[in-house]
Amino acid sequence: MNNQRNFNTFRMMFPELVYQSYHYNVQPDGLHIAFQFQLNQQLRFEPTAFIPNRSFLNFNIPTQQLDLLVFNIGMIELISYWKAYCPPIIRIVPHTLTDQQISFWKKLYWNGLGEFFYVNQITTSINDFVTIVANEGTPLTVADFDQIDSRQYLVPVGGGKDSVVTLELLRSQHPIMPVVMNPRGATIECCKVAGFDRNHFIEIQRTIHPLLLELNAKGALNGHTPFSAMLAFYTLLIAALSGKGSIALSNENSANESTIVGSTVNHQYSKSIEFENDFRTYVRNYIGTQFNYFSFLRPLSELQIAKLFSQYPAYHQVFKSCNVGSKQDIWCCACPKCLFAFIILSPFLPPDKLKSIFGENILDDTNLTLAFRQLIGVEPTKPFECVGTVAEVHTALRLALGKYKEHLPLLLQDFEPDSHYDVPLNSVSDSHNLSLQEIMLIRKALDSDI
C-alpha cells in the first residue's frame, strides 16, 4: 500500500517524462549512441550504448536507417526511467508516432511492466497508467534495408543452455554470428566453445545512467522491465550493420505461460509469442520489411531444449543462467533459477554429472522448499524468473526419480509427480515463425542423438 501511495504522489510531482533526443556518431572504435530523457530541469537521464568496431560491421549505412533504428531503441530504453516515478504522460520530442504505433508501445509497456506493478502492489489500468504524446517531431518512414541478407543469421547469446542449442543447430546449416549484450564470463565462454572468440562476435555495451540508481536508493520505484524487448530493438540495429537479416532468438514455447495463475502477469512477456508477433508486425509496418526476427526454439519446451543441450558436453562447464551469480560467473545454487536449471536437466544427465556442473545437488537444499513448491504448482505464483511450466517440472522430476538408487534428495522425499502432467519429448508446437527448413532442422535433432 505504501507503493500505491508513492505511485500516486510521484505522478503528481512528476507529470511527464520527456524523450528529449537521441544522438549517435561513428568513431574509429565503433558506434556511440546516447539518449536524453528528462523528468524536469534537474532530473535528466543520459544512458548510452556502444557497438565496438569489427571488420565485418559496416557503420556507413544511410542516416535514414540509423535515425529509425536508434530512435526506436530509445523508445524501449525510456521505460526503465519512467518506472522510477511513473509520470502520467510520456512526451516524445524527436519524431511523431501514429496512433497504431502508440498502441504498440502502450501495450508493450503495460505487459512488460506487469511484474513491476504486481510486485509493487500498484493498482492501475492500461488506459490510465500512461498517455503517450508524440506529435511534435518529424515523421519517420519505413526504410529500404537492401544491404540485409535473410539467409544469414544473428544469434543473441545469453550464456545459458537455450542459446547454445540455437547456436549449434543453426550453425550446422547456416552462416551465423553471435550477438552479446554486455559480455560476461558465460557468454564469452559459450561463444568461444562455438568457435567465436571476442573479436569474432558482435558486442553491444549498454549502460544505465547512474542517476537512476541514485534515485532508486532514495526511494524511487524499481522493478522488472522487458529486457528481451530492448534486446529485440538493438538486434535490428546489429542486423543493419552486419547485413545479416535473420535474428534467431532462443525463446521457448514455455515462455507463454503466465507467472501468476489466472492472470496475464508474465515475467517472460517479451519472450512470448504474443510479443514476437506484435514486434514482427511493428517492424514490418514502421521500420523495414527485410528483417526476420523470430525465436528458433519457439516450437520446443524447456524440457526438450534441456534434452538437446545435454548432448553438447563441451558447454556443460561454461554455461550459466543464474542471475544472482552472473557477475561472479557462478551458479549461486540458492535461487529458483538454479533449482529449475538443475531440475530440467536431471532426466538427461546423471546426478554426479549435475553435481559437477552446479557444485552440489540443489535438490538437497531445504532452504529452497518454497521455490520448489512454486515450481511444482503448489503455490499460485511461479518464481519471477525465466523458468518453465509446472507440467515440465513434474515431467522432469518423474523422469529423474529413477536415477536416484540410494539417496533420494530431500526436496523429493515427499514429492509425488502428478500423472496429469506429461510433456512429450518428440512433438513440437505449431505456434511459431520458423520456415519449413528451420522446423525440419529441429525435428531432425529431436529424433536423433545429435
Cα angle 105-108-114, degrees, rounded to a multiple of 5: 140
The three grid cell numbers given for residue 30, joined into one nine-digit string? 565503433
Q: In order along the chain (450 residues), what is the average pLDDT of each group of 10 residues? A: 91 97 97 97 96 96 97 98 98 98 98 94 96 96 95 96 96 94 96 95 97 96 95 98 97 81 81 96 97 96 96 96 90 95 96 95 95 92 87 93 86 86 88 95 83
pLDDT reported for residue 275: 96
Q: What is the pLDDT of residue 385?
A: 85
DSSP string over 393-411: HHHHHHHHHTT-SS---GG
Nearest residue to 228 (alpha-carbon basis) of 288, 184, 176, 163: 163
Which three-class secondary structure string do you get for 84-115? CCCCCEEEECCECCCHHHHHHHHHHHHHHCHH
Would the CA dihedral through 37, 41, 43, 45 be positive or negative? positive
79, containing H or E segment = helix 79-82
Say which residues have a Cβ less than 8 Å from residue 406's Cβ, sequence separation at least 6.
none
DSSP secondary structure of 161-210:
HHHHHHHHHHHTTS-EEEEEES--HHHHHHHHHTT--GGGSEEEEEE--H
Encode burial over 140-151: b for 16+ CB neighbours within 10 A, e otherwise. beebebebbeee
What pLDDT shows up at residue 263?
A: 76
Residue 156 CB partners (closer than 8 Å, separation 6+): 163, 178, 179, 180, 181, 231, 235, 247, 249, 250
The whole-number pLDDT of residue 338 equals: 96
**Backbone Cα Rg of the chain:** 22
Cα separation, 415 vs 397, in Å, equals 9
Distance CA 305, CA 443 (A): 12
